[in-house]
Structure 1
Amino acid sequence: MDLNTFWFILITVLFSGFFFLEGFDYGVGMLLPFLGKNDRERRLIINTIGPVWDGNEVWMLTAGGAMFAAFPHVYATMFSGFYIALVLMLLALITRAVSFDYRSKDDSPKWRSTWDWVICITSFLPALLWGVAMSNLIRGVPIDQDMTYVGGFFNLLNPFCLVGGLAAVAVFALHGAVFLALKTGGGMEERARAFASKLWLPAVILLGLYVGLFVVATDVIEHVGYNPGAVPFMAVIALLLVKYFLGQKREGWAFIMTGIAIIFSTVTIFLGLFPRLMVSSLNPEWSLTVYNASASQYTLKVMSIVAVGLLPFVLTYQAWSYWIFRKRITVDSTLEY
């Protein structure tokens, strides 16, 4: 395996980890105004992700940094082509981060309710945009022979990619509801479990529709040798099993299944891409690949040494933080947020 492929795999792992972790994070934020009946319950919901949400977003920064360092041409083309979408996403993420803090600055019910809805909207928007963006990578965008994006913002808003965005929203919301059922107690877990059961069918329908369109709207069938095969269908099967585990009140297994669905969906997109990173809809020969868009071999070698040396420590620290905050919390717990 060459270094180009190694970094493609590493970026796949980083994005998979990001969507798995930030998925329930976004989901909890989207559900905040709907599951919390009063301020104390909404504080409870926020406190389930309070200690970890910023750490989850580090995965996005790391994935973006890895893309910039290993495949700078992809980074340049993506950020110029997806500029408006990425600016909207960054504004949403900045506002979301501020909202967690500003919400507690005033005890006024109207003030707190306003920020609750801000958290909801700024959790929904990145989830939608990530689904649209990832779908565009595999479907193809107008890139010319100079690796330049020559389309506009509305080129990104096609039916396949919009379904991808809605599927991401639905699955993340389900992931978040299951996480709340796993992380809370005192009655909130029952409400979260019931809400997850309601979200399950829309999530299955949208993900199933997306998988079907994935086969039709992309070139994965013709892309011999890198066909994701059964992986996308395994994502749907994992999502189907969520309903069973929710019915058995086994939130841990339900959470694992939503996580598998998210990870396998992400892996499906990258398998369909390889060795490409961005598909050109104008000419397949103009697609950006792990070879024509990569940094120098020396750069990849140095970064590989650094990544292999530091990544275990980062993963260990994050695993430790989740272990520390593993216990269920209730409205009677000490709430920091």
Structure 2
Amino acid sequence: MDLLAVALLGFFTAGYFALAGADLGLGLLLPFLGRDRADRDRIATALAPYFLGSEVWLVAAAGVCIGCFPALEGELFTELLPVLVLLLAGWVVRDAGLWWRVHGGGAPDVLICAGSWALVAAWGWAVAELLDATGAVRVATIAGTVLLFAAHGLGYGALRLTGEPYRRARQLAGSRGGGQTFALTGTVLAALPLLAGAGLPLRENAAQGPVLGLLVPALTAFVPVLVAAQWWLWRALRDPSRRTPFFF
């Protein structure tokens, strides 16, 4: 049962990085792909339907960590407290920018971009901490994580954007096109948290007693529902004309 709990934690975390990396990557690139209000509206329309669904994967991963590995969760949250502060700040700022776009103006777009940068930098910092990277290696790890998220957002943009933002994303994505770029960067992003957390003593710190017996079957039953919902959302909104402009 403890091995299945570890697998669930890895699955939800990898899924979050691969899926949320798309909308976070677009947020990083907002001022580069969106040169005017109309362009930024297209970008917001492309990422808005997915960001809440992506965050469900992070909530699920946090639930597994807190419920199935309570002792290790306490140690990690204490050691990574500065990272978590930056992570939560970026999360709030980015999401606030998306919801406040309905009021118009340029400030919400600044919040989306700044929050995305803070979130991605925080994830890079967390990866560096888990890998015990120091000095120049730490800086390179954070910078590499940011570039990976940006590349993933670029591949996603080359698949789902329209108008001038699509043209710019397609040019930057290179000759392989959006699909191959998105698949490659998504695979690497999914593997990144698994690599960073490979050294954690998860099985040794798994909860005892009936906790795993209750949580793991419930979470396992939730997996096909989450995957099916995510697949439906992705398929249903392939056509740009079916995306509702929620935030403007």
TM (norm. structure 1) is 0.68
CA distance in 2: counterparts of 1:298 and 1:161, whole angstroms: 40
**Is the CA contact (8 Å cut-off) linking 1:96 and 1:123 kept in structure 2?**
yes
Equivalent positions of 1:32-51 (< 5 A) are 32-51=30-49
Equivalence for 2:191: 264
Q: Is the 8 Å Cα contact of residues 96 and 108 (structure 2) preserved in structure 1?
A: no
- 1:152 corresponds in structure 2 to none
What's 2:147 paired with? 170
| SS class of match (1:91) | helix
Q: 2:220 aligns to what? A: 308
Structure with larger RCO (C-alpha < 8 A, sep 6+) = 2
Q: Does the 8 Å contact 2:77/2:84 carry over to 1?
A: yes
For the 8 Å contact 1:24–1:172, the answer to whether it is kept is: yes
User: Matched residue of 2:239: which SS?
Assistant: coil
Aligned equivalents of 1:291, 1:30: Cα separation in 2? 36
User: How far did 1:195 drift?
Assistant: 3.1
User: Is residue 247 from structure 1 mapped to residue 247 from structure 2 by the alignment?
Assistant: no
Q: Partners in 1 of 2:163 and 2:90 — Cα distance?
A: 32
Which amino acid in 2 is paired with 1:100? L
2: distance between equivalents of 1:54 and 1:47? 13
**Aligned-residue identity in percent:** 26
Alignment of 1:133-152 (within 5 A): 133-139=126-132
- Quick check: 2:159–2:178 contact (8 Å CA) kept in 1? yes
Unpaired runs of 5+ residues, structure 1, are 107-111, 141-156, 197-245, 278-288
Q: Paired residue for 2:111, among 91, 107, 118?
A: 118
Gaps of 5+ in 2: none
Q: How far off its partner does 1:328 sit? A: 3.9
CA shift at 1:334, angstroms? 6.2
Relative distance call for 1:295 and 1:98 in structure 2 (3 A) is: same
Superposition deviation, residue 173 in structure 1: 0.6
More helix by share: 2
- In 2 relative to 1, CA 22–334 (structure 1 residues): closer, same or farther, beyond 3 Å? closer
Native 8 Å contact 1:44 1:329 kept in 2: no
Q: Which residue in 2 is equivalent to 1:182? A: 159
Equivalents in 2 of 1:63, 1:247: separation in Å?
35
- Tell me: CA distance 1:175–1:291, structure 2 relative to 1, closer, same or farther (3 Å): closer
Higher Rg: 1
Pairing partner for 1:317 from 199, 212, 229: 229
How far apart are 1:329 and its partner, in Å? 5.8
- Equivalences for 1:179-258 in 2 at 5 Å? 179-196=156-173, 246-248=174-176, 250-258=177-185
Amino acid at match of 2:48: G
SS at match of 1:52: helix
2:206 alignment partner, SS class: coil
Deviation at 1:320, TM superposition (A): 1.0
1:310-330 deviations in whole A, cap 9, x for unaligned? 221122112111111122469
Task: Provide TM-score, normalisation by structure 2.
Answer: 0.91
Shift of 1:115: 2.3
Bigger mean CA offset, 47-56 vs 307-316: 307-316
CA distance in 1, matches of 2:164, 2:38: 13
Structure 2 letter corresponding to 1:247: S
* Structure 2 CA distance for partners of 1:329 and 1:120, relative to 1, 3 Å: farther
Summarize deviations over 1:283-313 as a string: whole Å, max 9, x none.
xxxxxx2244221142112112112222211
The CA RMSD over aligned residues, in Å, is 2.1
